[in-house]
Structures are given as structure tokens and as C-alpha cells.
């Protein structure tokens, strides 16, 4: 073998060894979570890494814990309805910001970016007082869902970045053919923007799925309105020493996200790339 | 635009002005707010025992956690571009933890890193390495949070990977002809080409550090053995204020101590810091606004 060939082989081995080491770091936590979720109560408190007996019943126990199904339903409602409202309200705004020239366009864009960067805690107190005292809806998920109907800054920004990549010629052609703005948006822009919309919808869905602060503020005093993220932490409290059940619950909360990822990998990666690279 | 403008006014401008107003009042949510000048402000900056620890923790997170995440994300991104066999599998495995819901991931890490019987310390012990107390030791709780953040580095891996693949091949070929080694090529070609993405990753990382909430809160509570759920009082930042962040103070002051006026002061500090970093982002990277501006 030539020196060059040997070097290439060593390089291949080195890179892949490093890859396997990194893979262990990323995968082992999942493996230990799964293994612990299948241990008995007492074994989960020991240093054992491998279950003695495989307690598949742990999953049934978690699933049948009072409240668990309610948290699922609430999370789906919050994430599903919230995502729908976000997409419907954000697309037109993003379209206007990407393709129309109007006064204060630059300022509008700066405001969108500023809102995107704003920690939710900055305005939470007046918002909470409004929902709790003015409209008396605290203890429900509505204070989290309703604002989504007014556009979400991050989604607007992401969609705008995507719409910028659609050449103006398509829009001009539609207008020449006599399409109004609304028809141009529906017939020309929307079909071309599908990957961007899919990415935004997924982001928004997971944002709501993962949200902890919102439900903590608005739903914490009413367990019937808890979501998975918020309920999961209290689950650990209710099953104080039962790491096996807690890890089974953790698996049940992680699983839908990971399953959805395998169905929509492209949209995910597209969305992440959009935030950073195509700026 | 107009629905968004209504949203902007109702969910941003009005509450922000209210926050400013409440910060100058004593307000418990029941009696009417009464003006008390700069009392809340001076309390936060001089007497509130949790404020400066939270600021210090934030600076630690910005300096260490953000740096580690960017460096590690770049490393994993580079690694993925070099892997020839099974790259799809590696990429997926590296990306998946990023998708784990934060509360679930945090719970899992408190368990994995639990000092007595956790799998991480069991493995460390097996190879003769020291076994820290992680989330139960004030010196190790932030490194433990950093480990959690590194586990979820998939988003940065993806943007670095995309940026690295965008670097023109000709530049590498030209450098190789000039006899540049791997290290020189990285320094003089790769780094300058991807520096806007590094800047982006740093500043968005800093903004995430400003907003860091669910992970340190849940880690602190679970490690302290606090029963979750409604109305539970507990000293935030377990152990010894080491996991305290500014957003937690807003919650603690406003929703546990019902001192809305003081909570609004902390909210405004958070606002000022976030906007300062946002301004930095816009300046450092004119490209964020994008084409045609």
C-alpha cells in the first residue's frame, strides 16, 4: 500500500473512531433512560445498569396515572391549535415583510426581531394580571393559545427568510395575469413556501409541546389544565423515589417528538438551517 | 401587517409600559398599585439577596456554557463533514437529543448524574475518574447544566455543517497547492468563511442564556427533592443559589412572593440586557436583516 493510501485509511479510522465516541455521548443517556424505565422500583435505586427483570408494566402504570391522559390532551390542544393559529396569522405578515415595499418596513422588521429576542418573563406580569383579573381565564390554556392568532415573531422572521428566496418574477407574472394580492399569496406563494411553512409549523409545535413557563404561569393552580412539560416535573414529585416510573414517563414525553422527527426530518433540518445560514 | 400590529400593541408595547409603571409601585395584585419611587430599584440592586448571584450565574453561563456549546457544535459539525461511512446515521444520532423536551431531558440528567447511584458516576468510577456531586454540589451544578446543553447541541451542528459545506472547495485546493497543512487551512480558510455563523451562534447563545429558565429551575427543584406542583414554596437556585437565573427571579418575586413591583424591576433588567445583546447581534451581523435592506 502506498503512503498516501495508508494515510487515507488511518484518517478514515481516526474520524470514525471519533464519530463512535461522540455517538456514545449522544446515545448513552437515551439507553440508560430506557433501561431504568424497565427496572423494578428497588433496582432503579441501585447502581445496576441492566434490569434484572423487565418491568414493561411500568409504562402501563405511568399511562394510567391520574392526570397523565389529561396532560396529553392539553398538550395536543395547546400545540395543535397554537401551531395552526401561528401559521395562519404569521404567513401574511412574513409575506408583506419579504415582498412589499412600504413605509416603516425596516422598523417593523426590527420590532419583529426585538420581540423574538425578548424573554417571555419581561412582559409576563402585566400579561398575567390581564388574563387573571380582566378576563378571568387563568387556570386555562387560553392565555397561551389566543396570542398565537396575532402572529409569532420567530415564525414571522423564519418565514420571511424563506420567502425572500422566492424570485419576484413569479409574483410579477401572477399579477400580470390579473391575480389580486390575496390570490397571489394563496395560489403562487403558498405552494412555493410549503417547506418553509412546514419548518415553522414544526418549530411552533415543539415550542408549545416543550413550553414550561407558560403553563406554569397560567395553569399551575388547576391540574386539569396542566400540560406534559409541566405535569412531568410534578410526576417526579408524586413518585418520589420511583426513578423507573419517572424515566418511563420521560420516555413517553420524548417519544412523540422523536417519532415525528423521523417523519419530517427534512423540514426540521431546513428550519434550523434557515435560522442560521440563510440570514 | 395589521393583525400583527394589534398583537404587537397588546402583547408587547402595552405590557412593557405597564411593567415600567409597576416597577415604580408597591403592588401585590390585590390592593391598587401605590407609587413608591425608586424603592423597588434600590431594593433589587442593594438588598435583594438573590439578584447578584443570578447575575453572576448568567455571566458564568454566557462565558462558559455558550463558549463550550459553540466550540462543541463546531467540532461535531466538522466531524460530520469528515465522516464518509454511515454519515446519515451519525448525523441523526447527534441531532436527536436536541429534540428531547427540556423538562424531560433535565429530569433524565438529574437522574443520570445523581451522585450516589447514577449511571454517569458509575461509569466514571469504573474507569477510575472522580465522581462529582453534579446537581447537588454548587461547584458542579452549572457544569452539569453545561453537559445537558452539550447533549442538545444538534441545532448548532446542523448550521455549522451547512456553513462548512458552503465554503468554496477551490480555496482549499489552492491552499493545498501552496502547501498549507490541515491546521493552516482551518485557520486561514475555514474560520474566516464561517465566522458570520460563529458570531450568530454566539449571540443567539447569549440570548438563550438570558432566557435560561426551565432547565435550571427543574434541575434545582428535582435535585433538592422538592415535590412539584402548584403553590410549592422553595428557595430557588438549589444548591446554594448556583442554578438561579434572572427569569427565575421574576417568577419567584411575582408569583410566589406577590411582589409584582419588584418583579417588574428584574423583568426590566432582563429586558435591558436582552436588547443590548440584540443590538450587538444586529451590528455584528448586518446579514440578519437580509437581502435588499
Q: Got the DSSP string for B86-144? A: SHHHHHHHHHHHHHS-HHHHHHHHHHHT-TTT-HHHHHHHHTT-----GGGSTTTHHHH
Query: Which tens digits make up the pLDDT trace of B86-99?
Result: 999 999 999 999 99
CA–CA dist B107, B219 (Å, integer): 7
CA–CA dist B292, B253 (Å, integer): 45
Locate A168 and state its grid cell.
419576484
pLDDT of residue A141: 93
Q: Hey, are the CB atoms on A117 and B155 less than 8 Å from each other?
A: no
Minimal-distance CA residue of chain A relative to B147? A25
Least CB–CB distance from B159: residue in A90, A102, A272: A272
Do residues B205 and B58 touch, judged by C-beta distance below 8 A?
Answer: no
Tell me which of A35-39, A266-270, B51-55, B176-180 is least confident: A266-270
pLDDT of A279 strictly over 60: no
Q: How many helices (H) and strands (E) in chain B?
A: 16, 2
B200 Cβ contact list (under 8 Å, min separation 6):
A276, A279, B159, B281, B285, B288
E strands in B75-183: none
B264 interfaces chain A, CB cutoff of 8 Å: yes
Q: Which residue has better confidence, B149 or B238? A: B149
Locate B84 and state its grid cell.
464518509
B31 alpha-carbon distance from chain centroid: 36
CA proximity to B267, closest of A142, A133, A213: A213
B182 interfaces chain A, CB cutoff of 8 Å: no
pLDDT of A44 strictly over 60: yes
C-beta neighbour count of B91 within 10 angstroms: 21
Query: Which tens digits make up the pLDDT trace of A201-251?
Result: 988 998 999 999 999 999 988 989 999 999 988 777 666 668 899 999 999
A10 interfaces chain B, CB cutoff of 8 Å: no
Among left, alpha and beta (phi > 0; psi -120 to 50; other), residue B290 is left
pLDDT of A121 strictly over 50: yes
B256 Cβ contact list (under 8 Å, min separation 6):
B233
Least CB–CB distance from B102: residue in A33, A210, A234: A210
pLDDT of residue A144: 94
- pLDDT over 70 for what percent of chain B? 91
Do residues B243 and B144 touch, judged by C-beta distance below 8 A?
Answer: no
To test the contact with chain A by mutation, choose from B2, B9, B11, B68 the residue with the greatest count of A C-beta atoms within 10 A, namely: B11
Reduced to 3 states (helix: H, G, I; strand: E, B; else coil), residue B26 is: strand
Locate A175 and state its grid cell.
399579477
Reduced to 3 states (helix: H, G, I; strand: E, B; else coil), residue B25 is: strand
CA proximity to B157, closest of A144, A182, A277: A277
Minimal-distance CA residue of chain B relative to A130? B15
What mean pLDDT, rounded, does chain B reach?
88
pLDDT of residue B226: 66
Locate B28 and state its grid cell.
401585590
CA–CA dist B206, B224 (Å, integer): 27
Query: Which tens digits make up the pLDDT trace of B176-197?
Result: 898 888 899 999 999 999 988 8
Do residues B148 and B106 touch, judged by C-beta distance below 8 A?
Answer: yes
CA proximity to B165, closest of B67, B285, B69, B80: B80
B114 alpha-carbon distance from chain centroid: 22
Q: Hey, are the CB atoms on B229 and A223 less than 8 Å from each other?
A: yes
Distance from CA of A148 to the nearest CA of B (A): 9
The ipTM estimated for the assembled molecules is 0.91
Locate A154 and state its grid cell.
420567530
Locate A252 and state its grid cell.
413517553
Rounded (10°) angle between helices A68-99 and A105-117: 160
Locate B29 and state its grid cell.
395584585
What mean pLDDT, rounded, does chain A reach?
88
B111 interfaces chain A, CB cutoff of 8 Å: yes
pLDDT of A43 strictly over 90: no
CA–CA dist A110, A93 (Å, integer): 14
pLDDT band of B284, cuts 50, 70, 90: low
Contacts of B108 in chain A (CB under 8 A): 29, 33, 247, 250
SS percent in chain B: helix, strand, coil, step 5: 70, 0, 25
pLDDT of residue B47: 94
Q: Hey, are the CB atoms on A26 and B247 less than 8 Å from each other?
A: no
Tell me which of A272-276, B218-222, B282-286 is least confident: B282-286
Looking at residues A33-55, what average pLDDT do you find? 89
Looking at residues B251-277, what average pLDDT do you find? 92
pLDDT of residue B291: 34
pLDDT of residue B69: 97
Least CB–CB distance from A276: residue in B197, B225, B228: B197
Minimal-distance CA residue of chain B relative to A91? B1
Looking at residues A122-143, what average pLDDT do you find? 91
CA distances from A130 to A208, A278, B18, B184, B260 (A): 21, 38, 11, 58, 13
Distance from CA of B264 to the nearest CA of A (A): 7
Do residues A235 and A51 touch, judged by C-beta distance below 8 A?
Answer: no
pLDDT band of A278, cuts 50, 70, 90: low
Do residues A98 and A167 touch, judged by C-beta distance below 8 A?
Answer: no
Most confident of A137-151, B3-17, B68-82: B68-82
Rounded (10°) angle between helices B191-210 and A265-276: 100
pLDDT of A277 strictly over 80: no
Question: For residue B26, what are the β-bridge partners?
Answer: B34
User: Is the preceding omega at residue A79 within 30 degrees of 0, hence cis?
Assistant: no
C-beta neighbour count of A27 within 10 angstroms: 15
Q: Hey, are the CB atoms on A247 and B96 less than 8 Å from each other?
A: no
CA proximity to B3, closest of A16, A144, A85, A24: A85
Do residues B239 and B137 touch, judged by C-beta distance below 8 A?
Answer: yes
pLDDT of B290 strictly over 70: no
The single-letter DSSP state of residue B35 is E
B165 Cβ contact list (under 8 Å, min separation 6):
B81
Query: Which tens digits make up the pLDDT trace of A65-105?
Result: 888 999 999 999 999 999 999 999 999 899 988 888 888 88
Least CB–CB distance from A220: residue in B6, B11, B230: B230
CA–CA dist A15, A146 (Å, integer): 49
Q: Hey, are the CB atoms on B99 and A258 less than 8 Å from each other?
A: yes
Locate A272 and state its grid cell.
434550523
CA–CA dist A186, A180 (Å, integer): 10
Do residues A191 and A89 touch, judged by C-beta distance below 8 A?
Answer: no
C-beta neighbour count of B188 within 10 angstroms: 13
Q: Hey, are the CB atoms on A29 and B108 less than 8 Å from each other?
A: yes
C-beta neighbour count of B206 within 10 angstroms: 23
pLDDT of residue B285: 54
Least CB–CB distance from A232: residue in B103, B151, B211: B103
The single-letter DSSP state of residue B84 is -
Looking at residues B103-132, what average pLDDT do you find? 92
C-beta neighbour count of B139 within 10 angstroms: 12
Amino acid at each position: 500500500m502506498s503512503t498516501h493510501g495508508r494515510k487515507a485509511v488511518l484518517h478514515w479510522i481516526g474520524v470514525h473512531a471519533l464519530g463512535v465516541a461522540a455517538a456514545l455521548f449522544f446515545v448513552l443517556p437515551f439507553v440508560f433512560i430506557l433501561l431504568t424505565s424497565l427496572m423494578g422500583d428497588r433496582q432503579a435505586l441501585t447502581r445496576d445498569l441492566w434490569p434484572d427483570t423487565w418491568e414493561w408494566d411500568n409504562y402501563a402504570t405511568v399511562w394510567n396515572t391520574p392526570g397523565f391522559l389529561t396532560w396529553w390532551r392539553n398538550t395536543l390542544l395547546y400545540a395543535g391549535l397554537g401551531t395552526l393559529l401561528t401559521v395562519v396569522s404569521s404567513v401574511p405578515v412574513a409575506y408583506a415583510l419579504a415582498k412589499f415595499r412600504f413605509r416603516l418596513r425596516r422598523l417593523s422588521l426590527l420590532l419583529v426581531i426585538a420581540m423574538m429576542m425578548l424573554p417571555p418573563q419581561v412582559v409576563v406580569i402585566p400579561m398575567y394580571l390581564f388574563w387573571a383579573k380582566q378576563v378571568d381565564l387563568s387556570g386555562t390554556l387560553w392565555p397561551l393559545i389566543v396570542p398565537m392568532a396575532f402572529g409569532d415573531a420567530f415564525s414571522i422572521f423564519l418565514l420571511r427568510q424563506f420567502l425572500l428566496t422566492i424570485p419576484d418574477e413569479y409574483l410579477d407574472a401572477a399579477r400580470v395575469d390579473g391575480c389580486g394580492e390575496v390570490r397571489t399569496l394563496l395560489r403562487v406563494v403558498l405552494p412555493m413556501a410549503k417547506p418553509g411553512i412546514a419548518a415553522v409549523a414544526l418549530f411552533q409545535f415543539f415550542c408549545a409541546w416543550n413550553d414550561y413557563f407558560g403553563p406554569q404561569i397560567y395553569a399551575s393552580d388547576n391540574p386539569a389544565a396542566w400540560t406534559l412539560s409541566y405535569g412531568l416535573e410534578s410526576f417526579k414529585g408524586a413518585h418520589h423515589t420511583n426513578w423507573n416510573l419517572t424515566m418511563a414517563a420521560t420516555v413517553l414525553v420524548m417519544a412523540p417528538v422523536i417519532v415525528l422527527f423521523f417523519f419530517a426530518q427534512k423540514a426540521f433540518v431546513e428550519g434550523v438551517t434557515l435560522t442560521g445560514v440563510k440570514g | 401587517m395589521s393583525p400583527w400590529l394589534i398583537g404587537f400593541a397588546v402583547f408587547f408595547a402595552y405590557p412593557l409600559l405597564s411593567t415600567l409603571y409597576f416597577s415604580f409601585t408597591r403592588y401585590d395584585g390585590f390592593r391598587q398599585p401605590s407609587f413608591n419611587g425608586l424603592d423597588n430599584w434600590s431594593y433589587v440592586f442593594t438588598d435583594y439577596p438573590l439578584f447578584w448571584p443570578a447575575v453572576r450565574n448568567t455571566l458564568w453561563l454566557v462565558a462558559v456554557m455558550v463558549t463550550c456549546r459553540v466550540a462543541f457544535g463546531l467540532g461535531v459539525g466538522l466531524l460530520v463533514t469528515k465522516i464518509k461511512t454511515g454519515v446519515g446515521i451519525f448525523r441523526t444520532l447527534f441531532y436527536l437529543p436536541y429534540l428531547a423536551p427540556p423538562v424531560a431531558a433535565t429530569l433524565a440528567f438529574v437522574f443520570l448524574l445523581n451522585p450516589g447511584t447514577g449511571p454517569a458516576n458509575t461509569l466514571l468510577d469504573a474507569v477510575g475518574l472522580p465522581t462529582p456531586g453534579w446537581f447537588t454540589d454548587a461547584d458542579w451544578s452549572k457544569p452539569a447544566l453545561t453537559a445537558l446543553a452539550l447533549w442538545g447541541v444538534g441545532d448548532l451542528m446542523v448550521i455549522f455543517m451547512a456553513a462548512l459545506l458552503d465554503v468554496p472547495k477551490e480555496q482549499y485546493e489552492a491552499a493545498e497547492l501552496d502547501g498549507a497543512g490541515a491546521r493552516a487551512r482551518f485557520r486561514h480558510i475555514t474560520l474566516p468563511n464561517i465566522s458570520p455563523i460563529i458570531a450568530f451562534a454566539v449571540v443567539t447563545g447569549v440570548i438563550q442564556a438570558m432566557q435560561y429558565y426551565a432547565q435550571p429551575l427543574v434541575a434545582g427543584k428535582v435535585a433538592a427533592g422538592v415535590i412539584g406542583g402548584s403553590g410549592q414554596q422553595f428557595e430557588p437556585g438549589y444548591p446554594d443559589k448556583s442554578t438561579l437565573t434572572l427569569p427565575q427571579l421574576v417568577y419567584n418575586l411575582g408569583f410566589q412572593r406577590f411582589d409584582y413591583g419588584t418583579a417588574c424591576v428584574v423583568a426590566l433588567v432582563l429586558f435591558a440586557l436582552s436588547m443590548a445583546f440584540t443590538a450587538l447581534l444586529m451590528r455584528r451581523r448586518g446579514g440578519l436583516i437580509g437581502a435588499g435592506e
